[in-house]
Amino acid sequence: MRRYKAIETICQSIGKNDAVVSSTGLISRDLLAIKDSPQNFYMVGSMGLASSIGLGLAVCQNNRRVVIIEGDGSILMNMGSMSTIAHSCPRNLLHLVLDNEAYDSSGGQPTTSKTTRLEEVARAAGYRFVRKVGSRNELRQSLTDSTNKGPAFILAKIEKDGSRNSPRVLELVEIKRRFQEWLKDTTDTKPHRNSQRAEAQKRLAVIRNDASSKHLS
Ligand SMILES: Cc1ncc(C[n+]2csc(CCOP(=O)(O)OP(=O)(O)O)c2C)c(N)n1
Ligand SMILES: [Mg+2]
């Protein structure tokens, strides 16, 4: 499977309210080319941070799904975040790693993911759903199977192809502003049903207390 095709498949499963965080390099460039959207945050510059940013978002915005798309080099640089994600256990988080066993964006130098089995790391870290896939069909299936099973981890083995046909992600400040605005515009500010229920129960308890104290006096 090629990176471009893998990202195309992932994009087909992205809902209009999902937030997407993608890692530095060709992954963000391909995502920009395939489906640029205000709901995408391209983490250009600092490799390794997509998973941490995705976790923060998922915890703060638990009414929407957060999809992280990053490379093997990126997750290897910040592997501790897998433990933090599993420990925080955000049900709304999907973590995808496109593994070409290389730093493809910076010249194709090999990473250590040939020998370090990232899906086993995810399993040991405590993700609720873990799958390793090698084809578009398997990826499509695992995207469906992982629904509502977060934190979910999908390791997609892809080819190292070095293709640089997609445009660079520029206008970084504008991308941040656009993403922040999209988050604000699409955040559900209505009180959640559970908190409405909690409020109702509190009021009921006060009424009961009042009634029983009147009864006693
Ligand atoms: C902290 C840091 N180190 C190095 C780089 C340079 N750099 C940008 S992309 C990249 C390779 C990313 O590899 P991977 O995450 O496996 O994605 P791929 O390019 O293979 O799709 C490197 C080394 C960087 N941007 N930030
Ligand atoms: Mg890579």
Q: Which sequence spans correspond to the domains of the chain? A: 3-185, 191-217
User: Looking at the CA of 27, which ligand is closest?
Assistant: 1
**C-alpha 72 – ligand 1 centre gap (Å):** 9
Distance CA 122, CA 130 (A): 7
> Which residues line ligand 1 at a C-beta cut-off of 6 Å?
23-27, 45-48, 71-74, 100, 102-106, 111
Q: Which of 103, 112, 159 to mutate to test the pocket of ligand 1 (most atoms within 8 A of CB)?
A: 103
Q: What is the DSSP letter of 154?
A: E
Task: Tell me which residue of 110, 114, 133 sits closest to 1, measured CA to CA.
Answer: 133
Distance CA 64, CA 57 (A): 9
Q: How confident is the model at residue 217 (pLDDT cuts 50, 70, 90)?
A: very low
What stretch of H or E contains 80? helix 80-88
Confidence at residue 158, expressed as pLDDT on a 0 to 100 scale: 98
Question: What are the φ/ψ torsions at residue 100 (nearest 5 degrees)?
Answer: -110, 15
More confident residue, 114 or 46: 114
92 neighbors 64 (Cβ within 8 angstroms)? yes
Q: How confident is the model at residue 162 (pLDDT cuts 50, 70, 90)?
A: confident
Summarised one tens digit per residue, pLDDT across range 108-141 is 999 999 999 999 999 999 999 999 999 999 999 9
Nearest atom, ligand 1, residue 111 CA: 16
63 neighbors 19 (Cβ within 8 angstroms)? no
Q: What is the DSSP letter of 104?
A: G
For the chain, first and last CA: distance in Å?
Answer: 77
For 3-185, the fitting CATH number among 3.40.50.970, 3.30.200.20, 3.90.1150.10, 3.40.50.720 is 3.40.50.970
Total-model pTM: 0.88
Mean pLDDT of 48-57: 97
Mean pLDDT of 15-21: 97
What is the residue with the minimal CA distance to atom 17 of ligand 1? 71
